[in-house]
Structure 1
Amino acid sequence: MSIVNDIRTAFSRRDNALNQLLLINVLVFVFLVLVKAVLWLSGFQPYFANVLRQFVLPSDLPALLRHPWTLLTYAFTHEGFFHIFFNLLNLYWFGALVREYLGDRRLVSLYILGALVGGVVFVLAFNLLPVLRPAVGTPLLGASAGVTAIVMAAATLLPEYTFSLFLIGPVRIKYIAAFVILISVIAINQGNPGGGIAHIGGALLGFLFIRQLQAGRDLGRPVLAIGDWVGNLVSGRPNLRVSHRSRPAEAPTATRKTAPIKPEQEEIDGILDKISRSGYESLSKEEKQKLFKASQK
């Protein structure tokens, strides 16, 4: 079938991380919808809870120990149409911005780390906070923690970047991120404390990810290393070992430059002037990269 070929092609490309994240969420959603429909038609609808339990993140520790994979699978699991629609819409908007500026691999790192941190904060809150302990057993599902990490990362990286919102007009994403955090705080005491807490955990990760990246530390390296290992294991590609022959020590004066070359201040001033005249969207990809390197000083 052409649909199967299209899906296979989407996952075979290495420069397609955003579409792959979107597609995984859609595929899991469609799978659960089909399973629920089949069970309902066959008269076994109560068994759907057992199926869903394999995907959602439980808040009680014994259940989590029996289903440890749910610490990640919950972030690709949705039940309602509008739940997945708005999550994927935000993922598409803000993910495209992060992907353009930081690349596919860091986009995936942000999503995964945001989901993991949001899930851990969710479990800890329900087991440590007395006010939430009576609700232990409440599950968590949805991409919101990972998406919120990407939203906060984009706002931390490019706070003055502007989105044109329907019926509102141009809004800088730092205000969009602040609104997302406000909604998450409101959700804590308005019937969805688990979701709000997970969102805040994801937001904190997104902020720290960019701040550490600007300081020269990539928090996503462990995620990428594990992903590469799993990818090699699945594809059957062996890990390459590189051996180096011993060489005479180099003279102290022959110091190698390992740090990326910083753009000249004149170039940065020109880029900032261009932003003030035409907006951030007018910058080329090379200019955006130079501006990011300059922010690491």
Structure 2
Amino acid sequence: MSIVNDIRTAFSRRDNALNQLLLINVLVFAVLILIRAIFYFTGIGLYDDILRFIALPSNPVALMYRPWTVLTYAFVHEGFLHILFNLLNLYWFGSLVREYLGDRKLVNLYILGALAGAFLFVLSYSFVPVLQHAPATIVLGASGAVMAVIVGAATLLPDYTFNLIFIGPVKIKYIALAVVLISLAGVDGGNTGGEIAHIGGAMLGFLYVRQLQRGRDLGRPVQAVGDWVGALLSGRPRLRVTHRSRPAEDTTAPRKGKLVKPEQEEIDLILDKISRSGYESLSKEEKQKLFRASQK
């Protein structure tokens, strides 16, 4: 089928992280809809058990038996509007992160945001007095991971402008501030656990980009695990690199056929310039350096 081929093509490309994240969420949503319909018509009452198997529990003991849920919950949605708004935000803000930082940094931000949201959710229900005695619950949805992407994009490019319907041009730092305040305002409502996960993701998004601007990539463990899993699934052996002594050469000049990676200090300066004056203020040379750095 052409659909299967389209999906296979989307996942075979190495520079397609944003579409892959969107597609995983859509596929999980579609599969759950199909399972729910089948169980309804056949009278099988196991749908809630399947949902609990992949959603994140607030009870740490239950989490010990389902540790994978710290990540799987971030790809599970209930309701069309739930997934629609999450994926729209992921597409809009994820496109910015991907353009300026590259595919790997986008995946790092999404995964770390999901983990941070899960951590704050479980921690809150374990130690916050008003939540300790609350009934056990679960949380699901990409909102925590998407919040990390939103706040990460706003931290990287605070003055970048979106044209919102009925409102007009708005800087994304104000959009990020608004969504964080909405989450804070909703912690005493009917989605306490979800709002807490949002806040955890937002905090991670800010921290990740700030550390990246200082030359520290908090996502290196995510990349290492992803590379290992990719090599395992593809069946390709991991390459071992052996360094040999070579004659001295001029390292300042680019070698034909190879991209020369700009130094981290240069990238930090370029990112600071973007934060102050926007992407359009960069020279052609600075844009090329930023692009080459995103290929790492």
Partner amino acid, structure 2, of 1:19:
N
TM-score by length of 1: 0.86
Sequence identity, in percent? 64
Partner SS for 2:139: coil
| Counterpart selection for 1:260 from 260, 263, 276 | 263
Partner amino acid, structure 2, of 1:10:
A
Deviation at 1:19, TM superposition (A): 0.3
Is 1:13 the equivalent of 2:16?
no
Q: Is the 8 A contact 1:109 1:223 kept in 2?
A: yes
Deviation at 1:61, TM superposition (A): 1.3
Partner SS for 1:170: strand
CA spacing shift, 1:169–1:259, aligned 2, 3 Å:
closer
Deviation at 1:15, TM superposition (A): 0.6
CA spacing shift, 1:174–1:33, aligned 2, 3 Å:
same
Partner amino acid, structure 2, of 1:33:
I
Kindly report which structure 2 residues correspond to 1:34-183, keeping only aligned pairs within 5 A, or say none: 34-44=34-44, 46-183=45-182
Q: Distance in 1 between matches of 2:49 and 2:284?
A: 47
TM-score by length of 2: 0.87
5+ residue gaps, structure 2: 253-260
Q: Which residue of 2 aligns with 1:3?
A: 3
Partner SS for 2:162: strand
Deviation at 1:55, TM superposition (A): 1.3
Q: Distance in 1 between matches of 2:99 and 2:24?
A: 20
Q: Which residue of 2 aligns with 1:228?
A: 227
Deviates more, 1:113-122 or 1:58-67: 58-67
Partner amino acid, structure 2, of 1:220:
G
Deviation at 1:133, TM superposition (A): 1.5
Q: Distance in 2 between matches of 1:167 and 1:281?
A: 26
Q: Is the 8 A contact 2:74 2:141 kept in 1?
A: yes
Partner amino acid, structure 1, of 2:128:
L
CA spacing shift, 1:5–1:57, aligned 2, 3 Å:
same
Kindly report which structure 2 residues correspond to 1:244-259, keeping only aligned pairs within 5 A, or say none: 244-245=243-244, 247=245
Deviates more, 1:182-191 or 1:129-138: 129-138
CA spacing shift, 1:260–1:146, aligned 2, 3 Å:
same
Partner SS for 1:163: strand
5+ residue gaps, structure 1: none
Q: Distance in 1 between matches of 2:284 and 2:197?
A: 33
Deviation at 1:127, TM superposition (A): 0.9
Deviation at 1:260, TM superposition (A): 1.3
Q: Distance in 1 between matches of 2:84 and 2:2?
A: 24
Q: Is the 8 A contact 1:113 1:205 kept in 2?
A: yes
Q: Is the 8 A contact 1:101 1:285 kept in 2?
A: no
Q: Distance in 1 between matches of 2:223 and 2:264?
A: 25
Q: Is the 8 A contact 1:111 1:150 kept in 2?
A: yes
Partner amino acid, structure 1, of 2:52:
R
Partner amino acid, structure 2, of 1:101:
Y
How many pairs are equivalent? 280
Partner SS for 1:53: helix
Partner SS for 2:242: coil
CA spacing shift, 1:203–1:289, aligned 2, 3 Å:
farther
Provide runs of 4+ in structure 1 moved above 3 Å: 247-250, 254-259, 279-293
Q: Distance in 2 between matches of 1:259 and 1:5?
A: 37
Q: Is the 8 A contact 2:55 2:138 kept in 1?
A: yes
Q: Is the 8 A contact 1:101 1:289 kept in 2?
A: no
CA spacing shift, 1:92–1:283, aligned 2, 3 Å:
farther
Q: Distance in 2 between matches of 1:229 and 1:99?
A: 22
Q: Distance in 2 between matches of 1:194 and 1:285?
A: 46
Partner SS for 1:78: coil
Deviation at 1:191, TM superposition (A): 1.9
